[in-house]
Amino acid sequence: MEQERPQIITPWDLDGTLGENYVPDYIHEMAQDVLTHYEFQANGLEVITTKADKGGLIWKMETDQGPKSLKILHRRPSRSWFSLGAQEYLVKEKQARVPEIIRTKTGELAVEKGEKLWFVAEWIEPLFQVTKDLEGAKQLCHAIGEFHQLSKGYVPPDRAETASRIYRWPKTYQKIVKKMTWFKNIANLYPELAASQLILQVIDRFEAQAIDALQRLEQSSYHEMSAKGNEAWGLAHQDYGWSNGQMGPNGMWIIDLDGVAYDLPIRDLQKLITGNDG
């Protein structure tokens, strides 16, 4: 008899029609199996947020050892091991204010199931967003600066891939320049579309700005800075803002670290300034 293949977690709501808290039954069943790998007893799971279009999820759990989170990381496991190693490093080696990971009965940082990594962390209470004004921005900037300093020297575990964006800046800028040509070509090819004439009116100005930005990057100290290497610069959060930097016990806490990567610190300031959650 052919052995049944293990269930793989796939995106379950690509068009957003199932509701923000909908979770398929098979994932609920997986969660119960994952929890058998831990010493605590969970009294119930509350869906906090989902990434249904990617296959990610966060639950809050009440347990006999206090509140905790259970999270499915939507990225490939080798990428997720990088972020979990970083979170463990920051807590254990640097005493950073990021949630502590709860190890399994066998001492692992996570459980792999459905071709995703699942992990449990302490649920930090209380947490609240700082004010969305200059003082709040100062607190966020100070917290992420501290995070950058503490993350220097991190070396990922052997089973993790190295997640680095430090050397990708020129390609990112070049891609933006190339996209301007794409927009121009599409607008010329489909002049009947409502947006085409508006695009053609402004595209040259934005293309000039993109080219200028690329030239400024090449003329800056970027290459000298990136030559220092990953560990010298440490980690950037990559999704930093009012939601992921919050006030809690003893100061500001940085949460949701699953996207961290080696990068120049200004990346997080860029995200903070241009993000839409502030």
For residue range 209-229, what is the model confidence (pLDDT) as tens digits? 999 999 999 999 999 999 999
Report helix, strand or coil for 67.
coil
Cα–Cα distance for residue pair 72/164, rounded to 1 Å: 22
Per domain, the residue ranges of the chain are 25-164+229-274, 169-226
pLDDT bin (cut points 50, 70, 90) of residue 206 is very high
Q: Give residue-wise pLDDT tens across range 98-156.
A: 999 999 999 999 999 999 999 999 999 999 999 999 999 999 999 999 999 999 999 99
Q: Is 11 left (phi over 0), alpha (psi -120 to 50) or beta?
A: beta
Cα–Cα distance for residue pair 257/221, rounded to 1 Å: 28
pTM: 0.91
pLDDT of 4 reads 54
The CATH class given to the 25-164+229-274 domain equals: alpha beta
Cα–Cα distance for residue pair 256/194, rounded to 1 Å: 40
pLDDT of 14 reads 87
Residues 6+ positions from 23 with CB-CB distance below 8 Å: 12, 47, 50, 57
DSSP per-residue letters across 109-122: S-EEETTEEEEEEE
Q: Contact at 8 Å (CB) between 49 and 59?
A: no
Cα–Cα distance for residue pair 144/274, rounded to 1 Å: 16
**C-alpha closest to that of 147 among 276, 272, 57, 50:** 272
Other Cβ atoms less than 10 A from the Cβ of 119: the count is 23
Residues 6+ positions from 2 with CB-CB distance below 8 Å: none
pLDDT of 277 reads 57
pLDDT of 275 reads 80
Tokens found for residue 208: 């000039």
In this structure, are strands 111-113 and 116-122 parallel, antiparallel, or unpaired? antiparallel
